Amino acid sequence: MKVPILLPNIFDYPFTYDTNINLKVGDYVVVPFGKSKVTGIVWNEFEKKNDKKFETKKVIKKLNVTSLKVSTIKFLNWFSDYNMVPKGLALKLLLLSNNAIEKLPKKNYEKFKINFEVNKFKLSNDQKDCLKKMNKLNEKFRVHVLQGTTGSGKTIIYFEALKQLIFKGFQGLILLPEIGLTGQFEKKFEEFFNFKPAIWHSRVTKKNKEIIWSGISDETIKVVIGARSSLFLPFKNLGLIIVDEEHDQSYKQDEGVTYNARDMAISRAFFENIPINLITAVPSVETFHNIKKGKYGLSKLDKRYQDASLPKFEIINLNNVKLETQSWLSKEIVNKVNFHLEKKDQVLFFLNRRGFSPNVLCKKCFKSFSCPNCSINLVYHKNKNNLLCHYCGYKTLLKRNCIEEGSCDFIFCGPGVERISEEVKRNFPNKKSIIFSSDTMNKKNSLQILEKIISNEIQILIGTQLISKGFHFPNLNCIVVVDIDLSTKGYDLRGAEKNLQLYHQLSGRAGRAGKPAIVYFQTYNLNTKMIADITDKNPDIFLNKELILRKENSLPPYERFIALIITGNNQKILERESIKFKNFIKKSIKGEILGPVEAPIYRLKKKFRMRLLVRGKKTSKLQNSLRSVIKKFKFPIGLKLTVDVDPISFN
């Protein structure tokens, strides 16, 4: 008997094998491939007819793994077509290091055993109304958005929805945008459910991943809380997907196989015919558009839990005060922060820049430190005493011979959180402070740090955007945005949307326990309407304006964008081939091509980059026409094409 076997590699089709084993679609097998033995899956279609005669090899064995559902296979086929990646690479996302994990002894799953004790949480009337809307047709596909102001108790509502489905025997998946959120979130989950969820992200050990993968496959594990990659786990009986902070741009996978995990989660729910809940304080423009069109259901929570008030906003006009040399905190801010600290309020200084300084310049030769692999400046990290590229990871010491004479004499241009931290320590020497960024909070001791913040043992936080993502700090009642002008400049298509979401989420960290709270914005910008717009308690006003702008300019979500990035070592060859590539494909595709142009970050990881942008109608015809014509174009050795459907970053 001949069977089609898909392998986790760059091929876009399954290979045909012979077997005497009784196999069905979805079975995991081991087959010979070249000189190796490879794990594959019996697929639902054979490779396209090939006139060449070839000898078919035999399947070596069938693995003791629960068969992959046909609905999941259909999802992976669709995923491949939509994101324009080979089917084999889509399968690679599902397997664990290219392997399927056979059933393990039961003792491995004991810590995930579910407990059906009744929990002590009670919903308010508003929360009950939201749950009722969320639960309509709860076992069939539908997309429901739960939009609620920060601190309104959204998590408890979707926990209730999930609990009801777990009682019926289904599995559940909760997607989170950041690894750093899983620790505090896991604790909240255990308080509600009285059992442990499986945690899935890149820092989970190989052994634990094997236990979780097999436990999900045979339905021993009921709930997974995970980052993007958890979407591809081989669930046997998935009943509900929840995407928390659905607007968060961290759901976009930019390296390797590019995809948007939120959008792919919606598609997986469609193929599994199960409900999906998108949770947010401020919806993404795409989600807001689908709500307005009636494609997505909506329930809203306009009040915070136990009627806690939202923080007030105050603008500190930096044109009216003179900052001291090498200082970024005005005397007015220092006085206001002292007032809050005397009341035992916790304080956050917010600046979305890691490290000490984003630019290091010699005042004798005027040369700055730039990355030798990327066309960007190196960031000075004083705590580690090195210069670091945030794109490729290149490191070097702060030491250089000056072309003028002796050693370079450095000036540090602009602040990062480490620099603000030093200034905070000078101004508030008797208070404990900590930097809250991905450099400090993705470590083993981060849970202990969170406990100290929650108990107010640490009075001052200096944070990047990581701190805005769902953390609960009951004593935080004062936020200082060190310089809002830094985050509102630039030409990012999604810049306004990102700022709206960031500052709503950020302000939502304050005043959660009911005490009065204030967010202070330091700015040189006399146009305070921008701040008023992005902090309005009703974000729908801003989103409506943004949709009008997008429609007028034929931008997403009204048209589809597909970015084509060509990379290579030789600039002249890259430029020549990029133009040739555009001319080759432009007559065959169902859309318009812009470019090629040099990417804003022209050199990245030692490769030069040219960008083209394809825009067209939101139908599969655009991908289909592009996919077929790309296959016919042969790039010279050394050039690589990357396709990014629905790009978020235009770097």
Buried b vs exposed e over 34-50: b needs ≥16 C-beta within 10 Å? eeeebbbbbbeeeeeee
At residue 113, does pLDDT exceed 70? yes
What is the mean pLDDT of the segment spanning 92-108? 95
At residue 13, does pLDDT exceed 80? yes
| Domain co-membership, 461 together with 602 | no
Q: What percent of the chain has pLDDT over 90?
A: 66
| Domain co-membership, 118 together with 59 | no
CATH number of the domain at 65, please: 3.40.1440.60
Residue 276 lies in a domain: yes
Please identify, among 498, 521, 547, the residue that sits at the C-terminal boundary of a domain: 547
Other C-beta atoms closer than 10 Å to the C-beta of 248 total 26
Q: How far apart are alpha carbons 644 and 651 in whole angstroms?
A: 12
By residue count, the chain amounts to 651
| Domain co-membership, 343 together with 478 | yes
Lowest mean pLDDT among 117-121, 217-221, 238-242: 117-121
| pLDDT tens readout for residues 312-351 | 888 888 888 888 888 999 999 999 999 999 999 999 999 9
| Domain co-membership, 506 together with 423 | yes
Beta bridge partners of 252: 260
Q: By residue range, what is the domain housing residue 599?
A: 560-645
| Domain co-membership, 157 together with 17 | no
User: For 306, what's the count of Cα atoms within 13 Å in the CB-facing half-sphere?
Assistant: 6
pTM above 0.75, yes or no: yes
Burial (0-12, 13-18, 19+ Cβ within 10 Å), 609 = buried
Q: What is the mean pLDDT of the chain?
A: 90
Q: How far apart are alpha carbons 124 and 157 in whole angstroms?
A: 10
* Integer CA distances (angstroms), 633 to 86, 119, 270, 583, 629, in order: 16, 60, 34, 11, 7
| Domain co-membership, 88 together with 111 | no
| Domain co-membership, 149 together with 211 | yes
CATH number of the domain at 422, please: 3.40.50.300
- pLDDT, residue 404, reads 79
- pLDDT, residue 49, reads 65
Lowest mean pLDDT among 211-215, 244-248, 498-502, 616-620: 498-502
| Domain co-membership, 470 together with 584 | no
Residue 394 lies in a domain: no
Please identify, among 63, 94, 125, the residue that sits at the C-terminal boundary of a domain: 94
| pLDDT tens readout for residues 411-420 | 898 899 999 9
Which amino acid would we find at residue 57? K
- pLDDT, residue 138, reads 67
Higher pLDDT, 590 or 30: 30
At residue 237, does pLDDT exceed 90? yes
Please identify, among 245, 278, 306, the residue that sits at the C-terminal boundary of a domain: 306
Residues 6+ apart with CB under 8 A from 325: none
Residue 84 lies in a domain: yes
| Domain co-membership, 297 together with 315 | no
CATH number of the domain at 606, please: 3.30.70.600
Confidence bin at 591 (pLDDT 50/70/90): confident
Residues 6+ apart with CB under 8 A from 12: 80, 86, 87, 88
| Domain co-membership, 482 together with 517 | yes
Residue 320 lies in a domain: yes
Residue 364 lies in a domain: no
Lowest mean pLDDT among 10-24, 282-296, 398-412: 398-412
| Domain co-membership, 139 together with 224 | yes
Token pair listed for 324: 């001291």
Lowest mean pLDDT among 34-38, 214-218, 227-231, 408-412: 408-412
* Integer CA distances (angstroms), 510 to 58, 347, 472, 561, in order: 63, 9, 9, 37
At residue 139, does pLDDT exceed 80? no
| Domain co-membership, 333 together with 454 | yes
What is the mean pLDDT of the segment spanning 181-196? 87
Could you give the number of structural domains in the chain? 4
Q: How far apart are alpha carbons 569 and 70 in whole angstroms?
A: 43
